[in-house]
Amino acid sequence: MGRRWGQRSQELVTPSLDTPQVQALAQEADSQVLNAVYLANDNSQPPDWRNSKAGYVADSERKGQTAPDATTSGKGFVRVWWIEKGGERKDATLKLDDPLPVVKMSEAAAEYRCRFRAVHLRSKGWSKEKIGRELDKAAGWVTLWGERAPEEVPRPKDVPPYVIDYELRMLKCGIEPFRPAVLRRQYMTDTVGLYSECAQAFPWRQAVFRKRNYDTGEVTVTNIASSRQDCSIRGLKTGIARLDAALDRVRVEFDIRDPRVYLLNNFYPDGNTSIAPHQHDFWSAILSFGASRVFTLDGQPILLGDGDLLVIGTQRHGVPKMPAVTEGRVSVAIFWYPEMFGTECSQCGKSTELLQEGEDGENYCEDCWRSWQTFSQAAQDEVPRQSMVEDTGLTEDDILAATLEMSLKDF
């Protein structure tokens, strides 16, 4: 096979596996893994890895035997391995019905998120006692951080500044910051042939590498070809009826009202295609079709299967290489900003990021909102003067005439 675009030719140097001692250790390790699978599934006999879909021992390939595909749709344990950015190999035993993994982060980052949530919950009218129970914090802690301005919360080094800026914007818009991920297994069940349909119908193009500035969040698009392909579609219509129905269901369930919502689709022809860990300053709802692939979420692996839906916010995520996977995968991702409410300005008709609702029930962009506020204030200031006119029995014409007469006398 020729080298893929954007990939470097690499040789992995491994120690010899032909010695009897190494082979004996390998057989013992495989046996231990399979026994663990057997115990977890409570089968009457340990499964034969060469025929069973219960588990996949990747190292079996070194013995000259063909291992079962790691992308099986069964509910048993699957032994998978993948290559992290930098070339490090990782192994894990996962299941296609696993819940979301427990996110591991630094103590400072976890505390920072709690403080932001405290500010948000306080703004929603929660009592200090309720916030304390929700966040498992003492009343003194809630008093200290729940009343502070979010800008005063010290930022830990491992949370990018651009992510903080985004979460601050969420707070100001009344939206929960650092939204937790949501996983819906087999969100779509009518998926037979859907991977192939997407692979053939979408307007794929060669994907390129992008770089994001850690401090500013600015994204630079390079001309370096990636190993995958991608395409974008404005709105939520792909032309595939069953997929469009599922996308509309996601829109309703997750209250997506961003007028500029769009789809970013990725095509992974096999396990040698990947996307490096990265973060967004918006929200994403990702549908997976085709082969199951490891998806890393804040550094923790989860196996996404055909028809699964994963909704994330600013979590760091990626799809690492899985050389043992020979089948392809397509991801269809909805990208949207939850602070964009999908309404045009009632005054000028323009769609904008932040819309303000006036007392008249209409929505205004920032410029029109200021104009409306100025007009409203002027109208309020006019009330006392009008009342005075009414109280004295004078008409507006009388006041104007008197004013004109005074101005003529001054000259």
**Residue labelled with tokens 């954007």:** 6
Q: Which residue type, as a one-letter code, is found at position 201?
A: A
78: β partners: 94
List the one residue out of 153, 162, 163 whose CA is nearest residue 116.
Answer: 153
Q: What is the pLDDT of residue 216?
A: 67
Q: What is the pLDDT of residue 148?
A: 83
List the one residue out of 87, 81, 34, 35 whose CA is nearest residue 62.
Answer: 81
Name the packing angle between helices 107-123 and 139-146 (round to 10°): 70
Q: What is the distance between the terminal CA atoms of the chain, rounded to a whole angstrom?
A: 97
pLDDT tens-digit series, residues 120-139:
999 889 999 999 999 999 99
Cα–Cα distances in angstroms (integers) from residue 213 to residues 34, 155, 221, in the given order: 45, 17, 11
The order of strands in the sheet holding 317-319 is 275-278, 317-319, 293-297, 300-304
Residue 74 token pair = 């069964």
pLDDT in tens, the chain (411 residues): 332 332 333 333 333 434 444 344 444 444 333 333 322 333 333 333 222 222 222 333 333 333 334 444 456 788 999 999 889 999 999 999 999 998 888 899 889 989 989 999 998 899 999 999 999 999 999 998 888 888 888 888 888 888 888 888 888 888 888 888 999 999 999 999 999 999 999 999 998 877 776 666 677 777 888 889 999 999 999 999 999 999 999 999 999 988 889 999 999 999 999 998 988 888 999 999 999 999 999 999 999 999 999 999 989 999 999 999 999 999 999 999 988 775 666 667 665 545 555 666 566 676 776 776 665 555 445 444 443 334 445 454 554 554 444 434 333
According to the 3-state scheme, what is the secondary structure of the chain? CCCCCCCCCCCCCCCCCCCHHHHHHHHHHHHHHHHHHHHHHCCCCCCCCCCCCCCCCHHHHHHCCCCCCCCCCCCCEEEEEEECCCCCEEEEEEECCCCCCCCCCCHHHHHHHHHHHHHHHHHCCCCHHHHHHHHCCCHHHHHHHHCCCHHHCCCCCCCCHHHHHHHHHHHHCCCCCCCCCEEECCCCCCCCCHHHHHHHHCCCEEEEEEEECCCCCCEEEEEEEEEEEEEEEECCCCCCHHHHHHHHHHHHHCCCCCCCCEEEEEEECCCCCCEEEECCCCEEEEEEEECCEEEEECCEEEEECCCCEEEECCCCEEECECCCCCCCEEEEEEEECCCCCCCECCCCCCECCCCEECCCCCEECHHHHHHHHHHHHHHHHHHHHHHHHHHHCCCHHHHHHHHHHHHHHHC
List the one residue out of 333, 329, 309, 307 whose CA is nearest residue 320.
Answer: 329
List the one residue out of 372, 351, 348, 371 whose CA is nearest residue 360.
Answer: 372
Q: What is the pLDDT of residue 195?
A: 97
pLDDT tens-digit series, residues 259-311:
889 999 999 999 999 998 988 888 999 999 999 999 999 999 999 999 999 99
